[in-house]
A and B are shown apart, each in its own frame.
Chain A
Amino acid sequence: MKNIFTIGLPSKGRLKENAISILKKKNFKLSSRGGERDYFAELDNFPNAKVIYLHAREIIERLGDGTLDLGISGLDLLKESSKNLQQRIVVRKKLDFGKANLVVAVPNDWIDVQTVADLEEISFYFRDKKNLRLRVATKYPNLTNSFFTSKGVTYYKIISSLGATETYPFTGSSEIITDIVSTGATLKANNLRILKDGSILQSYACILTSKKSISNLKKRKMINMFL
């Protein structure tokens, strides 16, 4: 793969559509031999380039190990990944889609909780009165941990979630959650509300490159065509 320029694009949904249209705007033409289900595509004018459709999280991993030279993925996924990985990836351009915020949300009926400081108090109440830790369900344990620690909340427990995190407080799996939201409609529909100062990260899609590829002159030229 040394001489082939590899591009990772999200394999699903709106992120995929938007990523493809970004490429089109830059006059790259994509063609897949196997049609819709083909995970590979080629760029018509660049026989040395190859497009691979991957899970957005996977794109980060593959940029990190150098199998991808360039990728489009979410800032949230990059920031959540391990330090080691982040050191090998460079954010090259902020894109105008995939906007979403990682936030702390609590049940609507917890009317006494407006800020993270309230949560901190409640977490101590849980420890002192119930001998329990406040449980936080999330798909983003790393970002959540560093946010809570910086805000003085230390007595809690992370519950890893893979999806439908909004249900956790009402099924007894956790008390509160952190999750990525774009409009907030899903939270609202599930009786949750965002804390006043509960914004952990403002995320968006971005063009990322592997640090390794930047040191290669040919690849660097190629990268610049996408920016």
Chain B
Amino acid sequence: MKSKNYSEEILKVFKKKGFVFLEPDVLLDSNYIIQRSGESFRKLILAFEDDNGKNMCLRPDLTIATCVKYLEKNSKGTSKIYYIGQAYRRSNNSNKSIINNQLGLEIIGSKKKLSDDSEIINTMLNAIKKTKIKKININIGDVSLFKQLIESLNIPERWKLRLIRHFWRPDYFEDLLNRLETNSDIDPVSFSYDKKKFYEMKKFEQKQQIAGRTISEILSRFDKKIRDPRSFTEGKKTTKIIREFLKINCPIDQIDECLKKFLKKYNINKSGIKNELPIKNISNSGYKIIFSTNFGRNIEYYTGMVFEISTIKKKQKKELARGGRYDNLLKNLGSKKNISAVGAAINLNNLSEVL
């Protein structure tokens, strides 16, 4: 099938489901993007300084660009959006193209999480169906499960936050786990020196600032840090639980059973962990859907359900579409209210390679 043809077929599916076209801007304020995504993002974007000294970049991601547009337009209520266009992003992998052609959907500002999630997945599946590709694999995950697990563990608060923050960076996360296992966190020598200083500083004017931080801020963090159990015997056990959790992998209709078994084995409070996946709505799609706790760890802004539709071409996996729930992104982009959102995009580069 010609690319124009199947693009049109896919768009028909989107429109029929009530999604409305939105054209996100190609150029974004790069300081604004980096401010919210972190300095490491700078390496990935194609940025330049315009004549007025403003730093601009080509949109690195259509979801971000769509959300920026949504906020600019001051939209209220639920928006069902579709877009078609290019995203521009560098990659460490030189085989990967800088230009990504995408066709995507977003549901922004709706409160019906479960039905929205299944609507996005099912619409994407219907769209992919139009291409007549056989051999379709679907992977699904729920990154909020990890957060729930960590919250229910008996480890210092700092460690909880740290593990949650770096869940989406598997290499560094592994580093963290190793550190948690051995607890090489506080240096006893400088610690005793600092403790002396702690009592001295308590006498200072607490609002006084030292390089952008008030003395009370510094002291309260120090205090919290030393209150954390220092010889952390639980470390090994916790690390094991986390590693085992990340190995959970099963067909979607067995999630509850798998989780239950896991929680029982490690004696974790059952009410602590619940998946929020629209299992019923998507498990009768006719496809085999595999759930994995380790899935969805490559994009930072996902907060809940994540999924990927792929196929096999010449023994290699080709991702056709991916998406997920990202309930914090709009707030991170500057929205005052919490605005929930879920979306997905078809990777047209890969699709045209496969067809």
Contact = CB atoms under 8 A, between A and B. Distances in A.
Contacts of B169: 152
Contact of A107 (B42, B179, B211): B211
B158 A155 contact: no
B185 A117 contact: yes
B197 interface: yes
B194 A111 contact: yes
Interface stretch (A10-18, A27-35, A169-177, A201-209): A169-177
Interface string A129-167: 000111100000000010011111011111000000000
A110 B185 contact: no
Interface residues of A, number: 36
B221 interface: yes
A170 B210 CA distance: 7
A154 B166 CA distance: 10
B175 A152 contact: yes
Interface residues on B, range: 35 or more
B218 A110 contact: yes
Contacts of B229: none
B90 interface: no
Nearest to A168: B211
B213 A110 contact: yes
A114 B211 contact: no
A152 B222 CA distance: 21
Given A109-B218, A111-B197, A152-B172, A145 B39 contact: yes
- The 5 A-B pairs of least Cβ separation, nearest first, read A154-B38, A112-B222, A169-B211, A111-B194, A112-B221
Interface of B: 35, 38-43, 158, 161-162, 165-166, 169, 172, 175-176, 179, 185-187, 190-191, 194, 197-198, 201, 210-213, 215, 218-219, 221-222, 225
Interface of A: 106-107, 109-112, 114-115, 117, 120-122, 124, 126, 132-135, 145, 148-152, 154-158, 169-170, 172, 174-176, 196
Given A117-B179, A154-B39, 10 more contacts: A107-B210, A111-B194, A112-B225, A114-B186, A114-B194, A121-B161, A145-B40, A154-B38, A169-B210, A175-B212
